[in-house]
Amino acid sequence: MNKYVITIARGYGSGGRTIGKMLAEELGINFYDRELLRLASDDSGINEELFAKADEKLKKSLLFKIARKAYKGELIPPDRDDFVSNDNLFNYQAKIIKELAEQESCVIVGRAADYILKDYDNVVKVFVHAPLEACINTLTEMTGSPRKDIIKQIETIDKRRAEYYKYYTGRNWEDAKNYDLCLNSSQLGFKKCVEIVKAYLDIRFR
């Protein structure tokens, strides 16, 4: 099998990040989540903290432009006033994601990677989701936070991810047409989700 990339979009509390990490470990390939922020910072010279503040969320001032033209790959040069704008931070992350897809096999979580790599033939696009109650139970076990706080957190983070995705892609984040596989982690469990993605890889690329 030649180089391939698995992108994972995930609902908060669905275990998508954990599944991605398990996949990377079993396949012996690199796993990229917040590491993308450091790589984009190194490449651009922009402080990593700015990437972290803009990570998978929009400034309120951008929400009214939610249907803006989707990402096309242009980088804003350093001599422009908007060099450190949210749009350019996204552009640099996208640049890193494309470079990774060309250089190695890997798993990439979030950051609209499925859209950024939509024209690449070596990409498997996965969406991991679970019913609200299952996400609440998972996060309760992880954090021990009160139920009402967890529900609010799920709603807030999933809303941010959906707005971020819509803004940069023009697509709906939860639309199954964006992905090769949509996996309900509460029905399957993490291990079976990993097995399904591996089986799909084998069938598609063998």
Structure tokens at 124: 């498997």
Please say whether the beta carbons of 117 and 3 come within 8 A. no
pLDDT tens string 98-149:
999 999 999 999 999 999 999 999 999 999 999 999 999 999 988 889 999 9
Q: List residues bridging with 129 in a β-sheet.
A: 184
In this predicted structure, the answer to whether residue 29 has a pLDDT above a threshold of 90 is yes
5-205: CATH topology is Rossmann fold (3.40.50)
Burial status of residue 84 (CB atoms within 10 A of its CB: 0-12, 13-18, 19 or more): middle
Specify the range with the lowest mean pLDDT, choosing from 37-41, 56-60, 94-98, 105-109. Answer: 56-60
pLDDT grade, residue 42 (50/70/90)? Answer: confident
Q: What does the pLDDT read at residue 64?
A: 45
pLDDT tens string 140-180:
988 889 999 999 999 999 999 999 999 989 999 999 999 99
Residue type, 110: G
